[in-house]
Amino acid sequence: MKKFISLALFFISVSVFSQIKGKVISIKDGDTVVVLLAGNTQQTLRLAEVDCPESSQAFGKNAKAYTGSQVFGKTVTFYTVGKDRYGRSVAGVFYDNDKYLSREIVKAGFGWWYFKASKNTELQKLQDEAKQKKLGLWADRNPVSPWDFRKAKNKKKTTPAKSKSTGAKAVK
């Protein structure tokens, strides 16, 4: 029985933590890429431990361009750590002799360390260094984190407009 349990745990750990290779065929934004796997299947990967500016946000296009310059067209190795609320695989992505993509993005100043989902304090240190050197988005006088940007954008969508004449809420 112990052998059976040990064997089962081994196969579970191998399948959960196995590394997969794929070619990056699309960059959706600074922290989301699409890879082509064996069998011509595509998988969308949300990068683990980093949150880049939204496409419509300051430095969003820069973050996408930076990510593309690092991995577009390259074969990468990744391991999934879970799924996000949109069903995308959250993954650690490695390229060019084991460079960790999330680390490189934070180091270059094109993304925030996503501390809500990461315990990797090295990324905090790299973020602080990028901030001090005013790299990437840290050149902005008042950079807004993507989570604050999304929150403000959602708040605008849900706040009812007021009528100019009476101050009453408009009906949509």
Tokens 């050149």 locate to 139
pLDDT band at 148; cut points 50, 70, 90 = confident
pLDDT of residue 161: 54
Q: Tell me which residue of 95, 96, 92, 78 sits closest to 37, measured CA to CA.
A: 78
pLDDT band at 17; cut points 50, 70, 90 = low
- Per cent of the chain over pLDDT 70 is 82
Q: Which residues are tagged catalytic?
A: 46, 54, 88
Task: Tell me the angle at which helices 101-108 and 60-71 cross, rounded to the nearest 10 degrees.
Answer: 140
pLDDT band at 159; cut points 50, 70, 90 = low
Residue-wise pLDDT tens digits, 98-126: 999 999 999 999 999 998 889 999 999 99
Which string of DSSP letters, residue by residue, matches 116-156? GG---HHHHHHHHHHHHHT-GGGGSSS---HHHHHHHHHHH
pLDDT band at 167; cut points 50, 70, 90 = very low
Q: How buried is 59 (Cβ within 10 angstroms: 0-12 exposed, 13-18 middle, 19+ buried)? A: buried
Whole-structure pTM value: 0.80
Tokens 């933590």 locate to 17
Question: For residue 73, is pLDDT > 90?
Answer: yes
